Structure 1
Amino acid sequence: MTSIFKLMGCASALGLAISGAANAQETGPFGHSSNGLSFPFAAAIAKGFADAAAEVGAEAIILDSQGDVLKQTNDIDDLLAQGVVGISVLPNDSVVATAWADKAAAAGVPFVASAGQVGDPTTRPIDDVYEGMAALVTQHEVTAGHQIGLLAAKLLDDDKTAKVAVIEGAAGYAEVGLRTEGFEAGMKEAGQPYEIVAAQPGDWTSEKGESACQNILASNPDVDLFFNQADDMVVGCARAVDAAGSDALLLGFGGSKLAIQAIKDGAVDGTVCYKPEEIGRLSFNVLHDIATGTADHTEEFVTYETPAVTIDNIDLCVGQW
């Protein structure tokens, strides 16, 4: 089937519609609100969502909030006004997203969170899906952090206390605390003594990751390992480490194409492999199941395997973003 791509204007956002054969509930429209399509990971989720819709001849409306919480609130209103039969959201703010889930539930529209928790991450376990939602579709952030912590322990010298620096994502994202929680649990389980000597935000980007690592190396030149909470940041951090002549190990998070290549080139030591297109695809499938009556989904936690990889097993990770 050939899909037709067209630009759709709306009051608060520019959307991309992917159209197939029309057939009421089964063909949508289905909506996806992204936290920002300029982020490769978020764009890959949207691609997976749109591709899954196209495969069954359904229409997908993809809206880009461009990192703006207020704009994303308006995007949810726009999707509901357009009569979508299901909504998937990669939220900018986990707590604010509860209002969007409540609004969708009140309208009788199934709501799925994609790769981002809904609810206060400091009080709600990641697999405790917010009330009334159809599903949370994501990698298990704590489990993935645990895997990268075990990998870090394997690479480090356990005869001394390792000096670890954490390059965090952006404030407001549930993933920041969850990934560090898992990382520390993995290090402790492996019996690796460590001290987190510094933590700075890299805001998920290569440039800010590089800057954060430069700042940390200036005051902590003997850092043994940088745990970067996203692969874009580890690629930037690798530049800072190289420029400083540091021997620090570099671990990323996410399995991006750039990080996979950096591991193959010897610039980065490892990462944990995420599959954002699979998140988008699974999110659409949940909504499509409900729309077609194929299956019911209520407050489900849907996830997939996320292996830690180094140069020794890098073929396990095919970069999707």
Structure 2
Amino acid sequence: MRWRPLPAVLSVLVAIVAIASVIGVRSAARAENGVVAAVKSGGPRYGLSTVGLSFPFAAAIAKGFSDAAARAGATAIVLDAKGDVQKQANDIDDLIAQHVAGIAVMPLDSVVAQGWVARAQRGGVPIAAVAALVGNPRTRKVEDVYPGLVALASQDEVAAGRAAGTLAARLLPAGRPARIAVIEGAAGFPEVEQRARGFRQALDAAGARYAIVAAQPGNWTSEGGEAACQNILAAQPGIDLFYSEADDMVIGCARAVRAAGSPARLIGVGGSKLAIASIKAGAVDGTVCFKPEALGALAFQALHEDGGPRFRTYPIPAVTRASVDACVGQW
């Protein structure tokens, strides 16, 4: 069996990292109104509307945004949408009413977000998107930044899926079609379709023989990933590879695979600290390295500086145990 237990010391380390992450997120989100302000410098105020600070990736973006604002002598106002599209719309309206110097938004719904851009324009407030595009994700390329946005700071999510698919192609069994299961994020997030599309593109380009025999949402969480993989393995124990569209879900899926005694290979997306530790320990096969703090900083810079590229990104390599040291987890 491919999986082997984490060494005791590493297990303790992973637990400490997880607890520290939860404490940090809870502290950041403790205000009843969902507002977290960076160090107030008396300079211009910039708003960031996040999908939810309970998501470690979103909390890391908020940290990068706030840190960049502090370095520039500005104040960051971080609003927690708590996964609620209507609350996010209200938060953006509040920022526009406050006449902040600029707004960065991690859109919960990329199509609905088109209306938010229009409202910001009418209010004379520059707006940028971060981590997800605005517009129809099925038809708009990531580098084709939605009209009215100052910039989009994001990974190319289709490219991230391709990186995962290229890695998966090397792990599939030879001599027969592979059985693949996809653990998706949550409905409404454009990354769900984009990461799946890129994954299939890479497998097809590699000439892989495969069938995606199951796909279930894991809702971006470790618990959701574990439950989805448990359900799939109960119905189809012969899965060869699980592709989780986020690292939190691949961590949960690894628990389900171990409990079932399955030899299925495991690939995630995101470069989280726990995923990196699990790759080093042999519990996960690989991931795609994201840098959410860098995204937050890029979004702030796009609002604070004049000019520059409208699409802002950074390299997103796939890593395995042999190359994982090149990925420093930021969430």
Structure 2 length normalisation: TM-score? 0.89
SS at 1:198 equivalent = strand
C-alpha distance in 1 between matches for 2:188 and 2:197: 16
| Amino acid aligned to 1:138 | S
| Amino acid aligned to 2:194 | L
Q: Using the TM superposition, name which of 222-231 and 108-117 deviates more.
A: 108-117
Alignment match, 1:16:
36
SS at 2:83 equivalent = coil
Residue 44 (structure 2) pairs with residue 28 (structure 1) = yes
Deviation at 1:8, TM superposition (A): 11
C-alpha distance in 2 between matches for 1:225 and 1:48: 33
Alignment match, 2:288:
272
Residue 194 (structure 1) aligned to one of 210, 221, 242: 210
**Deviations 1:55-110, CA, capped at 9 Å, x for gaps:** 11111100101001111111001111222110001111111111111111111211
Identity value in percent: 58
C-alpha distance in 1 between matches for 2:135 and 2:160: 20
CA contact (8 A) 1:18 1:54 kept: yes
Alignment match, 2:67:
51
Residue 266 (structure 2) pairs with residue 247 (structure 1) = no
**Deviations 1:223-256, CA, capped at 9 Å, x for gaps:** 0000000000000000000000000000001000
C-alpha distance in 1 between matches for 2:34 and 2:207: 50
SS at 2:271 equivalent = coil
C-alpha distance in 2 between matches for 1:275 and 1:302: 13
What is the count of residue pairs matched by the alignment? 305
Q: 1:7 to 1:121 in 2, by over 3 A?
A: closer
Deviation at 1:279, TM superposition (A): 0.2
**Deviations 1:2-41, CA, capped at 9 Å, x for gaps:** xxx999989xx4312223433xxxx320000001001000
Alignment match, 1:84:
100
Q: 1:297 to 1:86 in 2, by over 3 A?
A: farther
| Amino acid aligned to 2:311 | F
CA contact (8 A) 1:8 1:17 kept: no
SS at 2:149 equivalent = coil
C-alpha distance in 1 between matches for 2:222 and 2:252: 4
CA contact (8 A) 1:150 1:186 kept: yes
| Amino acid aligned to 1:312 | A
Deviation at 1:156, TM superposition (A): 1.7
CA contact (8 A) 1:229 1:252 kept: yes
CA contact (8 A) 1:7 1:17 kept: no
| Amino acid aligned to 1:302 | R
Residue 222 (structure 1) aligned to one of 219, 238, 260: 238
C-alpha distance in 2 between matches for 1:189 and 1:8: 47
SS at 2:38 equivalent = strand
Report 1:24-173 matches (<5 A): 27-173=43-189
C-alpha distance in 1 between matches for 2:231 and 2:54: 26
Alignment match, 1:312:
322
Question: What is the Cα-based RMSD across aligned positions, in Å?
Answer: 1.8
Alignment match, 1:292:
none
Gaps (5+ residues) in structure 1?
A: 290-294
C-alpha distance in 2 between matches for 1:20 and 1:64: 19
